[in-house]
Amino acid sequence: MNFNRAVIKVGSALVAPTKTGCSGQYTLAIAQFITQCQQQGKEIILVSSGGVAAGRSLIHHGSPKLSVALKKAMASVGQMQMMANWQRFFDMPCSQILINQSDLEDRKRFISIKETIQIQLENGVLPIVNENDTLTSEDLTVGDNDNLAALVAQVCEADSLFILSDIDGLFTKDPKVNADAVLIPDIEHITDEIYAMAGTSRNHLATGGMKTKIQAAEKAVEHGINTYIVNGTKSEVFSSIWAQKNPGTRFAADKDIIKAKKHWLKHTLKSQGKISLDAGAVNALVNKGASLLPAGIKSVHKNFKAGDAVELIDHQSNRLIAKGISLYNHTDLARIIGKHSDDIANILGHNQSNVIVHRDDMVIL
Ligand code: GLU
């Protein structure tokens, strides 16, 4: 279960389990897991449901069957409670990003969301995304957060998507009514048979069910993103993840997609220059899946533009270790060699990015 950048989707049943507002019952352990991920250099984007569930007790309503207008009013007031509930478990700052699926279909808004999240991750901020429920045009069933999380994972070019709910994963039958239901640990291909296993089980305060989780997995794996459905009510699930054991159902990423991007970087893009790295940077790139920072650069060779492919060379052995896309041109880069990323803006008068070659745009050779 290796991952460097993951979207973690948390369902309403975990945020507001008693349906009377938010609780730390499960979110505390989830927050601790996210903090540990960050301490290990992993990047996390949280997609949190729970607005409706958290706001339910704050809006007068009659029957348990809620109208769409009531749900929107609950979602909007519950959003505040839900964000406050998350922030109390983190020392790092949290940001609130409210979007609708249509925002991701619009190229400009897509880029805006991508850039916002990228800068926040570089600054140690935890982005927390939810659907902007007040603005959903049809009803709250248009956008469930499982599918939204898969789209967010694509926007951020995450390598993994964790869908946390109150069920262990996908079973051969609905385990709530079938004692002989068996958990399926690994799914290589999502077929009609897999969808049939999902049944129609739902939680009336959340929008999704097992079906939307499989739809989300299908969207994500097509983009090379490993997807896991795990039980976020069990804290031992997080120990299993650290122990590299799959605690739920894993949907394997389409390897052809990953291969195609790496292949394009490796074989199709022609290198226009070279960057030599110190031993620390070589180790960070090769063993930790890190991006290249200016601090680890020893020298820059040849004229290349920002956006060109460059070869990354081990300064000591002169060995070619990786190839990637440089976000800075060679003149700018020569001025920030060995410097801390925080100094880039002072030296150059601008800062496109804290990293020189992002790990998403790099292939280790
Ligand atoms: N956006 C909804 C909320 O905050 C949740 C949608 C879902 O459960 O998938 O309550």
Q: Angle 129-131-137 (CA atoms, 0-180°, nearest 5)? A: 160
Token look-up 């069920």 returns 167
Q: Work out the widest C-alpha separation in the chain, in whole angstroms.
A: 73
pLDDT at 207: 55
**For the chain, the helix, strand and coil percentages under 3-state DSSP, each to the nearest 5:** 40, 20, 40
Task: Give the bridge partners for 300, in sequence order.
Answer: 275
Q: How confident is the model at residue 258 (pLDDT cuts 50, 70, 90)?
A: confident
CATH number of the domain that residue 144 is part of: 3.40.1160.10
Q: What's the confidence (pLDDT) of residue 262?
A: 79
Per-residue pLDDT tens digits for 39-83: 888 899 999 999 999 999 899 888 778 888 899 999 999 999 999
Residue nearest atom 4 in ligand 1 by C-alpha distance: 51
Q: Which of 85-99, 191-205, 331-345 has the lowest mean pLDDT?
A: 191-205
Side-chain-side CA neighbours of residue 20 (13 Å): 2
- Rounded to a whole number of angstroms, the distance between the first and last alpha carbons of the chain is 22
| Atom 8 of ligand 1, residue of closest alpha carbon | 206
Note whether 331 and 212 are same-domain residues. Answer: no
In this structure, the answer to whether residues 126 and 172 fall within a common structural domain is yes
Tell me how many degrees the CA angle 239-154-201 measures, rounded to the nearest 5: 65
| The pLDDT of residue 77 | 96
pTM of the model: 0.77
Specify the residue with its C-alpha closest to ligand 1, atom 5.
49
Kindly state whether residues 164 and 17 are assigned to the same domain.
Answer: yes
The verdict on the CB of residue 215 being under 6 Å from ligand 1 is no
Domain count, the chain: 2
The pLDDT score that the predictor gives to residue 336 is: 96
For ligand 1, say whether the CB of 169 is within 6 Å of any of its atoms. Answer: no
260-302 per-position pLDDT tens digit: 777 888 888 889 999 999 999 999 999 988 999 999 999 999 9
Judging by beta carbons within 10 Å of its beta carbon (0-12, 13-18, 19+), is residue 57 exposed, middle or buried? middle
Residue where a domain terminates, one of 245, 262, 279: 262
295 with 336: CB under 8 angstroms?
Answer: no
Same structural domain, 186 and 219: yes
Range from 102-106, 142-146, 201-205, 275-279 carrying the lowest mean pLDDT: 201-205
Atom of ligand 1 nearest to the CA of 11: 8
Share of the chain above pLDDT 70, in %: 96
The radius of gyration of the chain from alpha carbons, rounded to an integer in Å, stands at 22
Same domain, yes or no: 158 and 276: no
d(CA 104, CA 37): 27
pLDDT of residue 142: 41
* 26-30, 59-63, 155-159, 258-262: which is most confident: 26-30
Together in a domain, 257 and 307: no
State in Å: Cα 152 to ligand 1 middle. Answer: 15
What is the mean pLDDT of the segment spanning 118-145? 83
Task: Determine how many CB atoms are found less than 10 A away from the CB of residue 200.
Answer: 8
As a whole number, the mean pLDDT across the chain is 90
- Return the number of other C-beta atoms located less than 10 Å from residue 146's C-beta: 30
**In this structure, are 243 and 285 located in the same domain?**
no
What does the pLDDT read at residue 121? 93
Tell me which H or E stretch contains 256: helix 255-263
Query: Are 246 and 297 in the same domain?
Result: no
Question: 235, 262, 289: which is the final residue of a domain?
Answer: 262
Give yes or no: residues 165 and 185 share one domain: yes
pLDDT at 274: 97
- Same domain for 55 and 101, yes or no, is yes
Region 208-217: mean pLDDT is: 89
Of the residues 215, 240, 262, the one at which a domain ends:
262
Residue from 41, 44, 15 nearest 27 by CA = 15
pLDDT (mean) for 328-350: 93
Judge if 244 and 329 occupy the same domain. no
Residue type, 348: L
Task: Please check whether residue 333 is in contact with residue 274, taking contact to mean a CB–CB distance below 8 angstroms.
Answer: no
Which residues lie across from 314 on neighbouring strands? 277
CB atoms within 10 A of CB 28: 14
- Residue 83: the pLDDT is 98
Is residue 343 a contact partner of residue 265, using CB atoms and an 8 Å limit? no
Domain hosting residue 331, numbered range:
271-364
Residues 6+ apart with CB under 8 A from 177: none
- Do 159 and 55 share a structural domain? yes
CATH number at 278 reads 2.30.130.10
